[in-house]
Structure 1
Amino acid sequence: MSDTMQAIVYDDFGGTEQLVLRDVPAPTPGPGEVRIRVLRAGVNPVDWKVLSGGLRGLLTHVTPIVPGWDAAGVVDAVGPDVPEYAVGDEVLSYARKDWVQEGTFAELVTVRAVDVARKPAGLSWDAAGALPLAGLTAERVLDAVEAGSGDTVLVHGASGGVGTLAVQLARLRGARVIATGSPSGHDRLRALGAEPVAYGDGLVDAVRELAPDGVDAVVDLVGGVMEQTLAVLREGGRHASITDHGAGEHGGRWVWVRPDGARLEALAQRVVDEGIDVEIAASFPLSDVAGAFEQSMSGTTRGKIVIHVAD
């Protein structure tokens, strides 16, 4: 095993100027863990929110921190008691640990074997790196609102990485989907099977025109839309948010997604079998995670940004 690896590291909270590419000790897999040689790592808004210190009240942080929670690559080493994986296996993982320290924007990362999924042969490396957190989030938030056949579901923030997957997964459940997004992205949302409406003051009227009796469920992926959510929700309707911690105070749910290797493996296979599109907005090298974060922070990204760590 190599003693060192290259990784993006920061020693203090702040902006992207804190991010530095440097050599750090390579992790060693413990009991029940595998070590993944990372080929692709997905960028999620939570990554730069952690960098800014936004999750200090939720998770323990240990510096120096390697950011990143999504990984796709090849098993490089296995710890004791991991009979289900072998060196050379192609895998992906939502690799979040119970504390913030050793992330996936690195050449190597250790992950609990139960949080690892086998990569289907038909899934590209870019899609494998982009899928874990966004895909599991989309599934969990749709579960939270019990989206099913015959429902009309409103998805706030449908053009992003989670949103594009939520639209497709809701449609596969048999739901009708109304999706918010900027007008420039409406053709794309239509292609995914959604009925798009624009953000802004006219959103409530636009949704009511499409669903005069109200929608059955609302999925909030952006935050700050509780008033609009309640205004279009029919009596007895369900709503959930991945950003609004106070959703429960209004009869909804706040969704925090935990790693789940078995569910991720099933989802990855569905992506291949059912033609689900994991849209890749941009790819950045490991040396330019700062650039990837800045694009993500712009709020204009459609789909997912991936870090190209290695071939």
Structure 2
Amino acid sequence: MTRPTSMRAVILTGHGGLDKLEYREDWPIPAPAAGEVLIKVGACGLNNTDINTRTAWYSKAVHDGITLSSGSAGFAVAEADVGGWGSAALQFPRVQGADVAGRIVAIGDGVDTGRIGERVIVDPWLLGPEDWFDAKSAAYFGSECDGGFADFTTVRGDNAIRIESPLSDAELATFPCAYTTAENLISRTCLKPGEAVVIAGASGGVGSAAIQLCRLRGARVIAIASRSKAALLEELGAETVIDRASPDLAEAIRAAVGGGVDVALDVVGGSVFGYLIEALRHGGRYSTSGAIAGPVVEFDLRQLVYKDLQLTGATIVPPGTASRLVRLIERGLLKPILAAQYPLRELAAAQQAFMEKRHVGNIVVAMS
């Protein structure tokens, strides 16, 4: 039986609006290089990196957050100012999609033949061989290399993590980006049992993952989200859900815990940043991995100095993080929050729904 040579894929043809996403049925199936595996994709989740990259939000010329308008049309910036998360220029066309679940169907040289047939999820961080924290040698799956919005994809064998689970491919595709990002955010703050943590953007993929991971650590979780999403977040483990439309978020956070919180986790930024800093106790810790509401903020450095705060950015995820999360998934300790599924040809519609932020958890493209 001959293997097909072409596949379905959605390719990103350049920075810009949703019109830059092109559905194809004649895209070449990639061949695994030495040390790589070929995965038949079952499902691939969406995340903010997909939107940020397409719209050119990572450009230093962009000072605004992602809105439905800018997310649909992209930002008007000079091509020379545009790059991916690490500022390096991207090569187009590019197949995006970091959150892959599927099966290994072929291998490159140096990979054990016994891996063919394994069910896997992809660890999206392709770290350097020497210093994992070196951004110049790190890459992100679906950004610096082709990802999973296609029938097949290739990745390093070490990044294809075997998983044994009754969950569907669509459910498994909710985990890779969101849960590794959330785990990284939490780990940077050294969250301890009994501490109070506030999570901004708690209804998104990263936020809903963070609720579960914080609860597994025995922390008290205060979630910020719209009122309509409160019940589900409480089911995930949030002790209190604060309406994001509250006129004084800092006061509401402090009232919920009877004082300042120990830790603030933020993927929102913008005006929320100041409230989170104000809500921290003396010696509190803040960690961020995104700024969808706006990357440029005002900050009184006296709060940092005289409250002895620790502020941390969290992007590159340490090696081994995804493997540890897979073990938690296999034990049933982490719940997939699958908000919606779309067929591959409707990726643009899926991104539109993702940007509307009416969902809780993750939106996924299913290949079947």
| TM-score exceeds 0.5 | yes
The residue correspondences of 1:230-269 to structure 2 (distance < 5 A) are 230-244=277-291, 251-258=310-317, 260=319, 262-269=320-327
State the match for 2:221 in structure 1: 177
Q: Which one of 190, 200, 216 corresponds to residue 156 of structure 1?
A: 200
2:265 corresponds to? 219
The residue that corresponds to 2:161 in the other structure is: 117
Structure 1 vs Structure 2 CA RMSD: 2.1
1:17 and 2:76 are equivalent in the alignment: no
2:39 corresponds to which of 36, 39, 49: 36
Return closer, same or farther for 1:85/1:236 CA change in 2, 3 Å cut-off: farther
Normalised by the size of structure 1, how large is the TM-score? 0.93
When residues 103 and 96 of structure 1 are mapped into structure 2, their CA distance, relative to the original with a 3 A threshold, is farther
**SS class of match (1:65):** coil
In 2, the alpha carbon distance for the partners of 1:215 and 1:221 equals 17
Aligned to 1:196: 241
The whole-number CA distance in structure 2 between the counterparts of 1:142 and 1:15 is: 33
Whether the aligned pair in 1 keeps the contact of 2:184 and 2:317 (CA below 8 Å) is no
Amino acid at match of 2:242: V
Aligned to 2:56: 53
Task: Choose from 259, 273, 295 the match for 2:331.
Answer: 273
Aligned counterpart, 2:364: 306
Equivalent pairs: percent with the same residue?
Answer: 32
CA deviation after TM superposition for structure 1 residue 259, in Å: 7.8
Q: Which runs of 5+ in 1 are unaligned?
A: none
Aligned residues: 309
1:206 is the counterpart of 2:252:
yes
Deviates more, 1:21-30 or 1:75-84: 75-84
Q: Give the distance between the partners of 2:116 and 2:212, measured in 1 at CA.
A: 34
Identify if the C-alpha distance between structure 1 residues 108 and 210 changes in structure 2 by more than 3 Å, giving closer, same or farther: same
CA distance in 2, matches of 1:272, 1:229: 34
Structure 2: 5+ residue stretches without partners = 59-81, 127-138, 305-309
Deviation at 1:211, TM superposition (A): 2.2
Match of 2:92 in 1: 63
More strand as a share of residues: 1
Superposition deviation, residue 85 in structure 1: 5.4
Quote the Cα distance in structure 2 between the aligned partners of 1:191 and 1:216.
22
SS at 2:27 equivalent: strand
Report the Cα distance in structure 1 between the residues aligned to 2:256 and 2:348, rounded to whole angstroms. Answer: 41
Q: Are 1:293 and 2:351 counterparts? A: yes
Letter in 1 for 2:15: F
How far is 1:254 from its partner?
1.2
SS in 2 for 1:102: coil
The one-letter code matched in structure 2 to 1:124 is S
